[in-house]
Structure 1
Amino acid sequence: MDPNPPDVPLCVDLDGTLVATDTLWESILLLLKQNILQLLLLPLWIIQGRAIFKHKIAQQVTLEVANLPYRENVLLFLQQEKKSGRSIILATAAHYSIAQAVFTHLKLFNEVIASDAHTNMKGITKRDALIQRFGNRGYDYMGDSTADLPIFQTARQPFLVAPTQQLLKQIQCPPQQILAVPTHHWQTLLKAIRPHQWVKNLLIFLPLLLAHQWFDVTKWINVFLAFITFSLAASSGYILNDLMDLAADRAHPTKKYRPFAAGLLSIPTGLILFVSLLGASLLMSLWWLSGYFTGLIGLYLILTISYSFYLKRKLIVDVLVLAGLYTHRILAGSVAVNALISSWFLAFAMFLFTSLAFLKRYVELLQLTDEKAIKHRGYEITDIEMVASMGPTSGYLAVLVFALYINSDKVSILYPSPFFLWLVCPLLLYWISRVWFLARRGKMLDDPVQYALTDITSWLIVVTIIILMLLAKFA
């Protein structure tokens, strides 16, 4: 007897089964990205029922189904079943417009059963629709959730995709009908949090070092706590940025492997992480530091959220915001240890970080060839020459500001031998020029800070600059 007879249709769920994401959550994020004020309408829609809720959202946004994280092993299995002559039915609780778009894109299904403005095609409702269409035990069903239990119980046989242990205990399913996916543990969570990016927050230590208050233990403790709290806030910002940028990341050659873009972590998990990290950061800053520092954390988050929802799509503005977020870290360090920062140094930092922000955009433009993907950032391919001109210029202006600073009266007070500081200038000119040359040759990652962490030459330059500053202070 054929275990999968061609005359028995195979009904396939969409969310979590065919795709490693939830299209309703994706649509909600897309809606909020278009207009954050739509958040106020969501409660009004949900109280009218889930069917109306999905329908209202579907009327406002169009999900790019071509870029969804489809499960390759599921697609391969379905294609094999299709070749054997089986009818493949897309049976999903997602809105009909989304299901129809998937139907058109994949050209795999014979029929679509989905939610509309009146019916939420989930659980018992989906079960009854399938029984009415194919009869009791007249269909096979492929799903992933405990919400599908009523459907599995009336199906001829189940097919499970990435099932939880709870689902495996409730459904007797032969091993050959379980389509497993790679398991992901705490390493995936760490990848989403991006602790390697915390190196950027070392800028918080600069005000303490530049004020030459190296032996004040209390201030070292404060600045270390500031580093931890700011890192947690930054990670919450990275997660929010990834959630709001799913479509653009999936069109990117390297960012498509990020946990949320690839569907390795769910959107609700991301929202929980965002709230948890943000809450921990604010509580720690209030408890251990000061209200002023907490205010700077809040301002950083406002800028980050504005960037994720809107500013990142604005030409030039996105670069200035990125540079400002770097400089903001220095100001936060100044508040944490109550040390004044020279206006010279702030100007130097702003020009340098503007150069690095332009470098980030330049690498993205160099890698991407999809015109639509580039528009997510507000840039076009033809802008690459302008970016390549403005970026190094900003870096060289930073070196000019540093050179003018060496001639200021304050330097002679802090550094008895300022001659050694002049040697920093050619090192900075070399490093800035080098990273831009490497970017032009396609040898730079999309994040220049991450590249510098693994670049021996960059480390040697940093160590040399530190030695020169120590010589200027003590020689």
Structure 2
Amino acid sequence: MLVIFLPAANHPLCVDLDGTLIKTDLLIESAFALLRLNVLYLFLFPYWLFSGKAHLKHEIARRVDIDVSLLPYNSALVEYLTEQHSQGRPLILATASNQKFAHAVAQYLGLFDRVLASDEQTNLSGHRKRDQLLADYGDNGFAYAGNARIDLEIWSHADEGIIVDATSSVTQAAETLTRVSATFASTKLYSPLSRYLKAMRIHQWPKNVLVFVPLVAAHQFSDGDAVQAAIIAFFSFGLCASSVYLLNDLVDLPSDRAHPRKCNRPFACGEIPLIHGALIAPVLLIASFALALLLPPDYLLVLSLYYVATMAYSFRLKQAALIDIMLLGWLYTLRIIAGAAAEDIEPSFWLLAFSMFLFISLALVKRYTEVRTMIALGKTDIAGRGYRSSDLHLLSQFGSASSYMAILVLALYINSENISAMYQRPELIWILCPLMLYMITRIWLLAHRDEIDEDPVVFIMSDRRSQGLMLLGAILMWFAI
């Protein structure tokens, strides 16, 4: 939303970059881009910072490139600047971001007559930016567009202020310091809490009900201690997964922005400051492991293994074709193993084999839908993944084969000696085979029709027909006991 209060003056308009022109922070964004190349750079950050923040920005910037065409620009502000530029007003990009990125943004937009940015020695922020603008344009000789409290000391010397996505306190303070000619406030479609819950992907927590599977499979759902342990494991796994989701989204910003649906994720579109994700992720992880201390040591070991594996996936292995599929399938199976560890139940070979084949198939569904989406957009490769458009049919074949292997394992289990010891009426269990066959075949049919645009496990949890099939299967197992 744009509100114009006064006509704009003819003074040069100096525009801040991070949080003003773009809804992101290039220092944090470039830092995670560097960590994506090699996570060991994390240990160099304190060493570089010891020589100053400008040096840190310089060292990061010279090692990574950012596709500035994908950045979340403030479209209303860009439109306003375009109008000002067309009227002949001088525009200056004045930012604390490194000059490499600042010049790239200026060149991409084609609106700015000059760029003032940080170099290896000077971090052009706060009073340094103020002093630079005063030296170049004099007191009250320029207009300034900013968003943060640190910009107040610049507005106090500006003849005109433009406020962009600032808090109410910053806006009120700015209005006492300068003549505010325009205010830009983004329309918030969701409440602040809902945006954070979306970033944590709370809607994917139902996947963690897999920790209850060993409890049900062993017919120990009447064991109060085991049920309590499963509930704790559910929340512990959820917090751990959310921590990883936050870091994954911070690392995956470029590929998310290039994706037609993932570009709407809170970090990718600028709804949530990147620094908040970097701070919340470790808090969630600590809470997860604090809950894990209430459970047997084996659960803590499995949870640690899950975290290490998901971090390896986020930073490197998601780009390795087929390895990413195997790892995704294994991460789902780890939830079942974690549940068994928490509930002190020995998981059976049949359960683990069935789950591994099933979840590899569902992971292939996920990649299959992503490849189909990229083909529809006319692209040959998936950004941040190791697949090409020509892999589509192979992924479908691999996924179908894996799903039918899962059903074969189920059929062999039903025909084994174990079944008679577990169920009084094992013949009812046989009906699970056609139910599973129908459900997994339908999933692949919907994927082929491009009617699944999300994680297939989440789709199964929310799809009415799949829910009905799972309920029918649970009823059959209950009567078979």
Above 0.5 in TM-score?
A: yes
Structure 1: which 4+ aligned runs deviate by more than 3 Å?
A: 173-176, 369-373
Do the aligned residues in 1 keep the contact of 2:164 with 2:184 (CA within 8 Å)? Answer: yes
Percent pairwise identity = 41
- Alpha-carbon distance, 1:282 to partner: 0.5
Query: In 2, Cα distance between the equivalents of 1:330 and 1:409?
Result: 23
Aligned-partner Cα distance in 2 for 1:176–1:436: 56
- Distance, in Å, in 2 between the alignment partners of 1:50 and 1:458 is 53
Residue 291 of structure 1, CA deviation: 2.1
Residues of 2 paired with 1:219 and 1:14: CA distance? 54
1:411 corresponds, among 419, 438, 458, to 419
Q: 2:235 aligned to 228, 234, 239, which one?
A: 228
Give me the whole-angstrom Cα distance separating, in 1, the residues matched to 2:37 and 2:44.
14
Q: How does 1:308-347 map to 2 (within 5 A)?
A: 308-347=314-353
- Return the alpha-carbon distance in structure 1 between the equivalents of residues 165 and 299 of structure 2: 44
What corresponds to 2:3 in structure 1? none
The residue identity in structure 1 corresponding to 2:345 is A
Please give the residue correspondences for 1:332-411 in structure 2 after superposition, counting only pairs within 5 Å: 332-368=338-374, 369=377, 371=379, 374-411=382-419
Q: What residue is the counterpart of 1:442 in the other structure?
A: 450
**Aligned equivalents of 2:234, 2:159: Cα separation in 1:** 57
SS at match of 2:145: strand
| Distance in 2 between residues matched to 1:284 and 1:241, nearest whole Å | 22
1:107 aligns with 2:110: yes
Distance 1:187 1:104, change over 3 A: same
Q: Partners in 2 of 1:375 and 1:241 — Cα distance?
A: 14
Q: Distance in 1 between matches of 2:458 and 2:295?
A: 29
TM superposition shift of 1:84: 2.1
> SS at 1:364's partner residue?
helix
- Structure 1 distance, partners of 2:378, 2:36, is 21
- Compute the displacement of 1:109 (Å): 1.4
Deviates more, 1:171-180 or 1:359-368: 171-180
Aligned 8 A contact 2:13 2:91 in 1? yes
Under a length normalisation based on structure 1, what TM-score does the superposition of the two structures give? Answer: 0.96
Whether the aligned pair in 1 keeps the contact of 2:13 and 2:145 (CA below 8 Å) is: yes
**Residues 45-60 of structure 1: pairs in structure 2 closer than 5 A:** 45-60=48-63
Q: Confirm whether residue 129 of structure 1 aligns to residue 132 of structure 2.
A: yes
Deviation at residue 153 of structure 1 after TM alignment: 1.1
The residue matched to 2:156 in structure 1 has which SS?
helix
Once the two structures are superposed, what CA deviation does each residue of 1:38-62 show, in whole Å capped at 9, x if it has no partner?
1111111111111111111111101
Shift in Å, 1:113: 1.0
1:38 equivalent among 32, 36, 41? 41
Deviation at 1:370, TM superposition (A): 6.0
Distance 2:348 2:53 in 1: 56
Looking at structure 1, the residues matched to 212 and 181 of structure 2 have their Cα atoms a distance apart, in angstroms, of: 56
Q: What residue is the counterpart of 2:278 in the other structure?
A: 271
Alignment partner, residue 146 of structure 1: 149
Asked whether 1:180 is paired with 2:179, we answer no
Q: Deviations over 1:130-158 (max 9, x none)?
A: 12222221110000111112211111111
Contact 1:248 1:373 in 2 (8 A): no
Looking at structure 2, the residues matched to 3 and 87 of structure 1 have their Cα atoms a distance apart, in angstroms, of 16
Residues 351 and 398 in structure 1, CA contact (< 8 A), matched pair in contact too: yes
Aligned length: 470
Offset at 1:176?
A: 5.6
Corresponding residue for 2:288? 281
CA distance in 2: counterparts of 1:129 and 1:358, whole angstroms? 55
Q: Distance in 1 between matches of 2:417 and 2:350?
A: 12
SS of the counterpart of 2:226? helix
CA contact (8 A) 1:93 1:115 kept: yes
CA distance in 2, matches of 1:438, 1:213: 35
User: What letter is aligned with 1:386?
Assistant: L
> Which of 68, 81, 84 is residue 81 of structure 1 equivalent to?
84
Q: Secondary structure at the match of 2:62?
A: helix
Q: Are the counterparts in 1 of residues 160 and 181 from structure 2 also a CA contact under 8 Å?
A: no
Q: Matched residue of 1:253: which SS?
A: coil
Q: TM-score, normalised by structure 2?
A: 0.95
Contact 1:229 1:281 in 2 (8 A): yes
Runs of 5+ in structure 1 lacking a partner?
none
Q: Which residue of 2 aligns with 1:304?
A: 310
1:169 to 1:232, Cα distance in 2 relative to 1, 3 A: same
Contact 1:251 1:373 in 2 (8 A): no
Structure 2 segments unaligned to the other structure (5+ residues): 1-5
> Structure 1 counterpart of 2:201, which letter?
R
Which amino acid is 1:120 matched to? N
Contact 1:252-1:373 within 8 A present in 2 as well:
no
